[in-house]
Amino acid sequence: MKQKLSHLSNTLARKGLRLNSYWASKHWRSHPFGNSVRASNDTYMALWEKEKSKAYPEIDAYEQETGRAIEKGWLDKLALHTQIVVKNSPLCYQHGRILYSALSTYLEKKPQQNITIYETGTARGFSSVVMTKALTDENASGKILTFDVLPHNIPMYWNCIDDCERQKSRAEILEPWRELIENHVLFFEGDSFINLQAVQTERIHFAFLDGAHSYRDVNFEFKTVATRQREGDVIVFDDYNSKQFPGLVRAVDEGCRIWGYTKRILSTGADRAYVIATKQGG
């Protein structure tokens, strides 16, 4: 009887997860950014020109320190299609520079035959492409597993310059970089609480956690990655800001202390900072 009840409980739980996943997918496939173009091509271009001309001394210094810097023109072009949006808060895509330098440095210090990278919060794919660029430039092999509630192959408006042409899927937006990512990136659609548990990997060498910013979500994602990392492995966190995201800051600070990570904070100055957390031995 106990075995039957256990089997029934597990079956209902799996059905519940599938049902929750279905309704979540239905919502995020129904124009989450709106059902029309948000701005003109000229508006997106003006936002891009303004952002790419800004100076970020602390990020410059980090690139100089690591000796690894992504080519600015390449990054700016990618950002035009995947990071320039209409919103109330300031635009900033400096995490691309940090991810490239941090991952390149990791690959230099700890060369691996085949590394595994986790990302939460795929959005339009900016960070995944940047990390693939680092893998390629360092002649490293590996896979990037990236998770988001947003679909990869459903055409819709994304609040980006590509909307001015037509509704596109994320795959279509990223078409100019297809050859770069097709052998490295696996796109997973759904809630990280479901997918991170479903996708089992023995080791996560590097991670970028930029999904939901609540304490609950960040704590769960941090723990999931930390238990599969070893000394020297790295997690990068976006939006480390106690005013806007106190739950995220609390989860990062607690996680670094509990799971044994050093914490390096890099700031862009405009109430936005990033954390590079490195796993310690012991």
pLDDT tens track for 83-108: 999 998 889 999 999 999 999 999 99
Q: Do the beta carbons of residue 37 and residue 159 sit within 8 Å?
A: no
Q: What is the pLDDT, as a whole number, of residue 55?
A: 94
Q: Could you give phi then psi for residue 179, rounded to 5 degrees?
A: -60, -30
Taking the C-alpha atoms of residue 135 and residue 105, their distance in angstroms, rounded to an integer, is: 11
Q: Which two tokens stand for residue 20?
A: 């929750």
The tens digit of pLDDT for each residue in 154-171 reads 999 999 999 999 999 999
Q: What is the pLDDT, as a whole number, of residue 266?
A: 97
The tens digit of pLDDT for each residue in 178-216 reads 999 998 999 999 877 787 777 888 999 999 999 989 999
Ramachandran bin of 253, using left for φ above 0, alpha for ψ from -120 to 50, beta for the remaining angles:
alpha
Q: What is the pLDDT, as a whole number, of residue 6?
A: 42
| Domain chopping of the chain, boundaries | 1-30, 35-279
Q: What is the pLDDT, as a whole number, of residue 26?
A: 58
Q: Which CATH fold would you assign to the domain 35-279?
A: Rossmann fold (3.40.50)
CA distances from 278 to 135, 136, 182, 196, 275 (A): 19, 22, 28, 21, 10
**Torsion, Cα of 67, 76, 214, 192 (10° steps):** -90
Q: Residues 6 or more apart from 274 whose CB is under 8 A from it?
A: 94, 95, 98, 236, 237, 238, 240, 265, 266, 267, 268
Which H/E stretch holds residue 237? strand 234-237
- Identify the segments of the chain with pLDDT beneath 70: 1-30, 112, 270, 282
Q: What is the pTM of this model?
A: 0.89
Q: What is the pLDDT, as a whole number, of residue 97?
A: 98
